[in-house]
Amino acid sequence: MRELTLRKLTLGIETSCDDTSVALVDDNGTVHGQWMAGQVAGHTPFGGVVPELASRLHSEALMPLIDQAISSVEGGWSRIGLIATTSRPGLIGSLLVGVVTAKTLSLSFDLPLVGVNHIHGHIFSVFLDSQIQFPYVCLVVSGGHTHLYHVKSFTDITLLGQTRDDAAGEAFDKFSNILSLGFPGGPIVDKIAKSGNAKAYAFPRSMIRDENFEFSFSGLKSAALREVEGLPKPIRDSTKSDLAASYQEAICDVLIQKLKWAQKKMGVKNVAIAGGVSANSRLRARAEEWAQSEGLNLAIPPMKYCTDNAAMIAFAGVKRFQQGVKSDQTLTPKSSSLAEDFYEPS
């Protein structure tokens, strides 16, 4: 009887970039806990993520987080039924910390292991503590990705299009660097844009009229750089806010337009936005406004599941495991995620 009430949990591990995260999630996507160690303080003096430093900080933070997670549940390790770890794409040294730890724990506790594609994690993050129906179109916008997917099931995902150059998050981060606002740029730009005028500067909306699912943000970044170079120094805070609001609006216009096309073309009623940039308050507001006016079901994860997190890795992992996918001690991290190996766990 007790066995029935104490369901097995998946231990998720995420170390693909600069967030060390561990989570315990059940098969339904209910998150029993998530433990995080961010690295912002470590990387801030360098203005961006330093890969070697990221790996070192992951190796220091990961096991204590796992210990916390395991000791939080009655029964400890006996409650764990699966270990899921991000195995691609990401910084190779960072991924290695998670993969090696997961393999060791799998061997030590005789637990099955599954390597998870980080992008699957973002795509299915909309199931965490909430519900969305298949099929849906999903815009994955993060520091490394700006991808549009048609998601028909946990196994049937079609890439509709992606950025040709910079990712949306990268565009936010680069803009922040141009104005020396700080790192990571997205949340800072989001904050100062709130008091700015989004019409103050006419930034380009690359490819917005092209009825395809491709994006380009490098021209926007160059336009911002030129604009900033031409301004008298020091730049006033109100000008920085106007620049941020105008820049953010240009990104949101393109993202929303492409999402609208994808929704129309795929003929779906369910739409999702995931990844770090889905935490952007303006993007969320614009998407909600659109979904409401069209009678669509919109899913955007709560903030804690937008940026990199282990709960989404655990959930994507358990779904892959239920489909018969399993990794073993040969699981190796890969920095890239090619279209042809999108579904492969290792």
Contacts with ligand KG4 by CB under 6 A lie at 17, 142-144, 169, 172-173, 184-187, 190, 275-277, 279-280, 307-308
Tally Cβ neighbours within 10 Å of residue 328. Answer: 14
Only one of the segments 105-113, 134-142, 217-225, 229-237 lies at the binding site for Zn ion (rule: CB under 5 A); that segment is 134-142
Least CB distance from residue 110 to Zn ion, whole Å?
Answer: 30
| 85 scored as a contact of Zn ion (CB under 5 A) | no
φ, ψ dihedrals at 327, nearest 5°: -105, 170
Give the helix/strand (H/E) hosting 274: strand 270-274
| 21 scored as a contact of Zn ion (CB under 5 A) | no
| 117 scored as a contact of Zn ion (CB under 5 A) | no
- Measured between alpha carbons, how far apart are the two ends of the chain, in Å? 37
Least CB distance from residue 112 to ligand KG4, whole Å?
Answer: 26
Specify the residue, 280 or 346, whose C-beta has the smaller distance to ligand KG4.
280
Residues near 300 by beta carbon (within 8 Å), at least 6 away in sequence: 126, 272, 273, 274, 278, 284, 287, 306
Partner from ligand KG4, Zn ion, none contacting 186, C-beta within 5 to 8 A by type: ligand KG4
From 10, 85, 106, 142, residue interacting with Zn ion (rule: CB under 5 A): 142
Can you tell me the distance from the alpha carbon of 250 to that of 256, in angstroms, rounded to the nearest whole number? 10
DSSP percent split of the chain into helix, strand, coil, nearest 5: 45, 20, 35
Can you tell me the distance from the alpha carbon of 130 to that of 128, in angstroms, rounded to the nearest whole number? 5
Q: Is 251 helix (H, G, I), strand (E, B) or coil?
A: helix
Only one of the segments 135-143, 221-229, 243-251, 324-332 lies at the binding site for Zn ion (rule: CB under 5 A); that segment is 135-143
Binding mask 275-314 for Zn ion (x = CB under 5 A): ---------------------------------x------
Least CB distance from residue 306 to ligand KG4, whole Å?
Answer: 7
Residue type, 8: K
Specify the residue, 196 or 301, whose C-beta has the smaller distance to Zn ion.
301
Question: Could you tell me which residues are beta bridge partners of residue 116?
Answer: 86
Q: Is 22 helix (H, G, I), strand (E, B) or coil?
A: strand
Number of residues that bind Zn ion (CB under 5 A): 2
Q: Is residue 279 a contact partner of residue 306, using CB atoms and an 8 Å limit?
A: yes
Q: Is 26 helix (H, G, I), strand (E, B) or coil?
A: coil
Least CB distance from residue 301 to ligand KG4, whole Å?
Answer: 10
Partner from Zn ion, ligand KG4, none contacting 173, C-beta within 5 to 8 A by type: ligand KG4
| 15 scored as a contact of Zn ion (CB under 5 A) | no
Specify the residue, 106 or 142, whose C-beta has the smaller distance to Zn ion.
142
Partner from ligand KG4, Zn ion, none contacting 115, C-beta within 5 to 8 A by type: none
Least CB distance from residue 264 to ligand KG4, whole Å?
Answer: 25
Can you tell me the distance from the alpha carbon of 320 to that of 318, in angstroms, rounded to the nearest whole number? 5
Least CB distance from residue 21 to Zn ion, whole Å?
Answer: 11
Alpha-helical segments (H) within 230-338: 237-266, 281-294, 310-322
| 19 scored as a contact of Zn ion (CB under 5 A) | no
Least CB distance from residue 269 to ligand KG4, whole Å?
Answer: 26
Residue with tokens 């691609």: 88
Residues that bind Zn ion (CB under 5 A): 142, 308
